[in-house]
Amino acid sequence: MSLIATLARLEAVETGRAAPLATVRHRHLSERPLVLVPLTTSGEAGAPLGALVGTDREAPRLLVVPQPRDRELRFAFLAELADAVLPHLDAYADEVEAAERNETDPETGKKVKVEVELCADAPQIVVPGRAAIDFVRLLGRSMRFRRTAEQDPDTPHPAPPRVPLLGRWLTHYGERARVPGSALLLAATDLLGRHWATGQSSLEDQHLGALLAWIDPPEGASGAEAALRAELARDGDGQLLCPPAGPATDPAFDNKLLAPAIDRYDRARQALYAAQDGEAADARLGDLTRAEQEIRRLVGEQLRPTWEAVWQSLDLLRELPGAPRTADRWTRDRWSFTAHRDRVRAGEPPQPRRDDAVTAAAKLASRETAQAQLEAQEALDDPLVMAGRRLAGEAFAGEVVDVVMAWSESKRPSPRPLVTVRTDDAPHLAERAKVFRSLDGKPQSAEFVGYQADGALVLRLLDKMGRSKDPAPGSVPEKGDRVCWTLFEHDQRGGPRLPDPEATPWTHGGPPGTDAEHPDPLTPEDLL
Amino acid sequence: MTVAERGFDPGAAAAEATGRILHDTLHGQARGVVVDSPPGAGKSTLVVRAALELAAAGRPLMVVAQTNAQVDDLVVRLAEKEPDLPVGRLHSSDADPYDKSLDDLPNVRKSSKAGDLAGLDVVLSTAAKWAHVKDVEPWGHAIVDEAYQMRSDALLAVAGLFERALFVGDPGQLDPFAIADSGQWAGLSYDPSASAVTTLLAHNPELPQHRLPVSWRLPASAAPLVSDAFYPYTPFRSGTDHGDRRLSFGVPSDGSAPDGALDEAAEAGWALLELPARHTPRTDPEAVRAVAQVVRRLLDRGGAATSERSPDPVPLTAARIAVGTAHRDQAAAVRAALSELGVTGVAVDTANRLQGREFDVTVVLHPLSGRPDATAFHLETGRLCVLASRHRHACIVVCRAGVTDLLDEHPSTEPVQLGVTVKFPDGWEANHAVLTHLGEHRVVWRP
C-alpha cells in the first residue's frame, strides 16, 4: 500500500468516513450497464442457486434454481440466463464504425493498413465483487464446452441451444477482467475501493455492504458503526440484515430458511410423481408451485439488497467526472469485444481449457503493458493520484526558475535547453535519469543533469521542440511556469513479437498438440 | 564444515567441474546444459571461457545476458582475454545504449542491427534486444547468462535464434517477477512468469546439470552460513580458508556501538547491530542513520583488507563498500544520510540492483527491520541471499530487535499451487537460519 493510501485510511479512521483516493472516475461506466448478482449453492461448486440480472434498476429479472442438484433445472437456469444476457450483448454487435488496423501482409510480409469494423460501443457487465467475477469465469468454464443437441445428437445431456455461446462470452468477459484498467466486466467493490479509502482492511473492503457504509453512511451514524452493522446485524430470526453480496450465501440463511424450503420442494415433487390420478396431480402441482414460489421469494430477498447496493455504487461513482484517459482504455475494451464477436461469427472453437505457451506469454506481456499504462494514465488524469506518486519519489512538481538555451554538439545542432526547477518534492533521481512531462497530451522527455547548490534541479530538455535550430514556440517551459515531471514513462512500448504457436521452441515443449479440446469425460464420480 | 578438510583442494574441484561443463558444452549431445552457480563461484569467468572455446572451435555464438551492464562487462572481459577476437555488441537504439569504454576496443563492433554483426565470432546482447531480432540465420550455439533471473517468456522470445545453449545462473538469487497477476498460469510447465531454467528443465528433464562447487568471493566465515541457509541441498565451500583474509583498522574503537559492530565484523566476518524493537516506517530514520554512521566509521577508521589477491593490505575505500536495502526509498534515504555525513562513492542500492556485484564490506538494512508484518516480498529467500552474499570480507546487518518474533507470528501463508515445485528453503526458514547465526555476533545499539 502506498504512503498516500495509508494516510487516507488513517484519515478515514479518524473522521469515520471514507476518504477520497481520486478526484475523477478512473473507469469507464456505460450508460446502460448490465448488472448481474449471482448466488451459488454452498458446498456445490459451480451449481448456481439464483441471480438477479438486468439493465433496469426497477425491474430486475429473478432467476432461481429450486433444486440446485438437479441438472435439468440448472440447465433451465442457464438457458434463462442466456436469454437475459445474450440479447444485451447482441445489441452492441451490429452497431459498428469503420476503423483501421495494422496487419502483416502474408505474401509480402509488409505492414499494411486494413479496414475493419469496430463496435461503436460495448456491453458492460457489473457484478458485486471479485468473487462474483470468479463465479462468472466458472460459469463460462462450465458452459463453453457443452454440446447442444444440434451440435451433437448423441451427446448424453444436451445443453439448451444458446448455453455454450453464453459460456464463451462469459469466459471472454472473465478473462478480459484480468487486464488492468479494463471495464467490460467490473466488480463494484473494486470500483469503490479504487476511488475511496475506508478505515478498515482491504480484506474487509470486499464486503460490499460494509464498504458502502463507510463511503455513504446513513444519517447520523459513523462509517465504522454502519460498517459493523452491515457485517453483523441480524434480525429476530438470526438472519443478516445485509446479506453477503455473494455468490456465497450466509450459513444461517442456508440452514434455517433455504434447506427446509428445498426439502418442502423435494417432497412436493415426489408427491407429484407419486400421484395416482389427474385430480391428485393437479392438487400436488399446486403444492409444488407454492414450494417453488417460496424458494424464489427467499432467494430474491437475499439478492435484492445486493442489487440495490450495486446500483448505489454506480450512483456514487457517476457523481465523479470521468477521467479523460478512460476513453482510450474503453476503446481497447471495444476492440476486445469486437475481436471476440468476430471469432464467434467465424465459427472458431471455444477458448481452450489452458493457454498454450505463446498465448500465455502474449497475455502476460499485454497485461504488464496495460498495468504500467494504467498507473501512468491515472496519475496524469488525477492530481490526487499524482500526489501519491510525488510522495513516493516517482514524480515531482515545481516552479521553473531559470531556462538557459543550449544546443547539442552535432553538425545540425538541435535545441537542448537547460531548465532549472525548484521543488519541495524529493524524487529518487539517479544520475542522468530520464523524466517526462505532458506537453499537449504528448510526453516530452528531459534528462536529469544535477542539483544546484540551493537544491534546485537542472534538467536538459531532449525532444518535442521541432526540427529547427530554435525550439518551437511553447515547447520549452518558461520561467515562472509550474510543471509536473514524472520519472515513469507516459506511454508503453509493446513487447517483442513472439513466435507463432506452431513455432514454439524446444525449450518450451515444442508446438502444442492440434487436437481440438474435448469436454471432460463423464466418470462414475460425476454425480451432478 | 571447514574448508581445509584434508584432501579438499578448492582450485582442483572448481577446475574439474569447469572441465566437465566445457566437455558437455563442446562435445555433448544434449541441446542444453544447465550450470548452477552459487554467489561468486566464477560464473562470469566460466561464461568467458566457454565463449572463447566455442569461438575457437569455430561455432558461431550468441550470448544472452539480462542487463546492458552485464553485457558490457562480458564484452570487456572477452576483449581482455582475447583482444583479437571479433566481437559484436548488439545494442538498442536508445541514447547511450552501451558503456563508452567499449569504443576503445578495436575488435568490438557495435550496432543496433543484427545484420551488421553477421559473421562475427561472438555476438552479445540483452534478452530484451535479442527478442526483436527476426529473419536471421539461427546461431549454432548460445550462452544464456543469469538464466535464473530471466523469465520464461523472455526465453520463449529468443529460443528460436539458437540450436543449442549453455544456461548459467544462480538459483539462490531473486526470482524474476511480473507486475501483472500471473496466477492463472501457475503450475503450467511454461508459466510465463517462472524462470527460464524452470521451464527449460520441465520440458527437457534429461539435460545435463552441473554446479560450480567453490565460492571465490565469500570468505570462510560466510560460505557455510550462505550454503546452509540458501543452498541446503547443493552445498558449496569457500575458496579461501580462515585466516586467508583479514580486515583491520588503523584507528582503534571509540567505544561506540557502530565501532563495536565493526570490530565484531572484522573478527568474525559478521555483525548484527541491533536497534531497540519498534514499528517504524520503511525509511526508519534511526536505522538509516545507524547504517550511515557505520559506513562513516568504516572509512574514518582506516580499514585495510588483506587477502589472497595481494600480499600487502589494501586500503578499504568507498568504492569497495556497499549498502544494501530492500526498497528503493530506503536506498534513497541512506544516500541522503550518507551525503549529510560527507560520504560519497559508496554504492547504495536495492537487492535487485546489487545482484551480481562484489564488494569487500557490505552494510545491510535488514528487510524485516521495524516491520509490523512479514510479507512474501520481504520473506523472499533470494532477497536475503543477495544481501548476505555480496562481500569478500565482512557483512554488517543493521536491524531492529524482534524480527524473530515477527517471523514466528507470520508463517508463510501463500496459497499452495498445484504443479509448482516447492522451493526449499522457504524464506521463513532461511531468515531464521541467518538470524540465529547473526545473533552470535550481536552488538546492541547505544545512542
* Domains of chain A, CATH where assigned: 3-245+303-351 (no CATH), 353-381+493-520 (no CATH), 395-486 (2.40.10)
Q: Do A365 and B185 touch (CB under 8 A)?
A: no
B172-230 tens-digit pLDDT: 888 888 899 988 998 888 999 999 999 999 999 999 999 999 999 999 999 999 999 99
Question: Among A177, A166, A158, A169, which Cα is nearest to A519's?
Answer: A158
The predicted complex's ipTM stands at 0.88
Question: From the CA of B298, how many Å to the nearest CA of chain A?
Answer: 25
- B125, B156, B283, B334: best mutation site toward chain A, by most A Cβ within 10 Å? B156
Query: How far is the CA of A164 from the CAs of A87, A141, A155, B416, in angstroms?
Result: 15, 10, 14, 32
Helix H, strand E, coil C: the string for B74-105 is: HHHHHHHHCCCCCEEEECCCCCCCCCHHHHHC
pLDDT category, B4, cuts 50, 70, 90? very low
B234-282 tens-digit pLDDT: 899 999 998 889 999 999 999 999 999 999 999 999 999 999 999 998 8
A211-238 tens-digit pLDDT: 999 999 988 889 999 999 999 999 988 9
Q: Do A505 and B159 touch (CB under 8 A)?
A: yes
User: What pLDDT score was predicted for residue A370?
Assistant: 94
User: Which element (helix H / strand E) includes A200?
Assistant: none
- Give every CB contact of residue A198 below 8 A, 6+ residues apart in sequence: A9, A12, A18, A204, A205, A210, A211, A214, A215, A223, A227
Nearest to B180 among A364, A426, A432 (CB): A364
B303-348 tens-digit pLDDT: 899 988 888 899 999 999 999 999 988 998 999 899 999 999 999 9
Q: Do A509 and B203 touch (CB under 8 A)?
A: yes
User: Which element (helix H / strand E) includes B68?
Assistant: helix B68-81
Determine the average pLDDT of the residues in A257-262. Answer: 94
Say what the pTM is.
Answer: 0.90
- B134, B184, B190: best mutation site toward chain A, by most A Cβ within 10 Å? B190
Q: Are B398 and B363 in contact (CB under 8 A)?
A: yes
pLDDT category, A520, cuts 50, 70, 90? low
Residues from chain B contacting residue A358 (CB–CB below 8 Å): 156
3-class secondary structure, B374? coil
Nearest to B156 among A357, A372, A392 (CB): A357
Q: Do B157 and A499 touch (CB under 8 A)?
A: yes
Chain B interface, Cβ < 8 Å to A: 31-32, 95-96, 128, 131-132, 134, 152-153, 155-157, 159-160, 178-182, 184-185, 188-193, 196, 199-200, 202-204, 328-329, 332
Question: Among A341, A346, A349, A314, which Cα is nearest to A89's?
Answer: A341
Q: Closest chain B residue to A462 measured between Cα atoms?
A: B95
d(CA B310, CA A344): 72
Q: Which residues sit opposite A485 in a β-bridge? A: A396
Range A312-328 burial, b when 16+ CB lie within 10 A, else e: bbbebbeebebbebbee
Question: From the CA of B243, how many Å to the nearest CA of chain A?
Answer: 39
Q: Do A499 and B128 touch (CB under 8 A)?
A: no
Placement of cell 493498413 in the chain? A113
Question: From the CA of A156, how many Å to the nearest CA of chain B?
Answer: 31
Residues from chain A contacting residue B131 (CB–CB below 8 Å): 495-496
- The answer to whether A428 contacts chain B (CB < 8 Å) is yes
Pairing of strands B108-111, B87-90: parallel
- The answer to whether A370 contacts chain B (CB < 8 Å) is yes
Q: Which residues sit opposite A432 in a β-bridge? A: none
Q: Closest chain A residue to B200 measured between Cα atoms?
A: A507
Q: Do B196 and A361 touch (CB under 8 A)?
A: no
Tell me the CA end-to-end span of chain B in Å, nearest whole number.
38
Question: From the CA of B266, how many Å to the nearest CA of chain A?
Answer: 32
Counting residues of chain B whose pLDDT is more than 70, the rounded percentage is 98
Does residue A103 register a pLDDT over 80? no
Q: Do A509 and B189 touch (CB under 8 A)?
A: yes
Question: Among B290, B446, B364, B355, which Cα is nearest to B145's?
Answer: B355
B27-58 tens-digit pLDDT: 999 999 999 999 999 898 999 999 999 999 99
Q: Do B204 and A508 touch (CB under 8 A)?
A: no
Mean pLDDT of chain B: 90
Q: Closest chain A residue to B203 measured between Cα atoms?
A: A509
Q: Closest chain B residue to A434 measured between Cα atoms?
A: B95
Q: Are B372 and B279 in contact (CB under 8 A)?
A: yes
Cell for A297?
Answer: 421469494
Cell for A424?
Answer: 519541495
- The answer to whether A91 contacts chain B (CB < 8 Å) is no
Q: Do A364 and B203 touch (CB under 8 A)?
A: no
Q: Closest chain A residue to B94 measured between Cα atoms?
A: A434
Nearest to B200 among A360, A371, A507 (CB): A507
Q: Are B185 and B53 in contact (CB under 8 A)?
A: no
DSSP 8-state class, residue A176: H
Q: Are B293 and B262 in contact (CB under 8 A)?
A: no
Q: Do A368 and B178 touch (CB under 8 A)?
A: yes
User: What pLDDT score was predicted for residue A418?
Assistant: 94
DSSP 8-state class, residue B420: P
Amino acid of residue B147: A
Residues from chain B contacting residue A365 (CB–CB below 8 Å): 153, 192
Residues from chain B contacting residue A497 (CB–CB below 8 Å): 134
- The answer to whether A5 contacts chain B (CB < 8 Å) is no
Q: Do B156 and A499 touch (CB under 8 A)?
A: yes
Q: Are A132 and A247 in contact (CB under 8 A)?
A: yes
d(CA A494, CA A102): 14
Q: Closest chain B residue to A177 measured between Cα atoms?
A: B181
Cell for B287?
Answer: 536505522
Q: Please count the residue pairs, one from chain A and one from chain B, whose beta carbons lie less than 8 angstroms apart.
A: 95
| DSSP H helical ranges for B349-447 | 351-354, 376-379, 381-387, 403-409, 427-439
A48-64 tens-digit pLDDT: 999 999 999 999 999 99
- Give every CB contact of residue A168 below 8 A, 6+ residues apart in sequence: A140, A143, A144, A340, A344, A350, A351
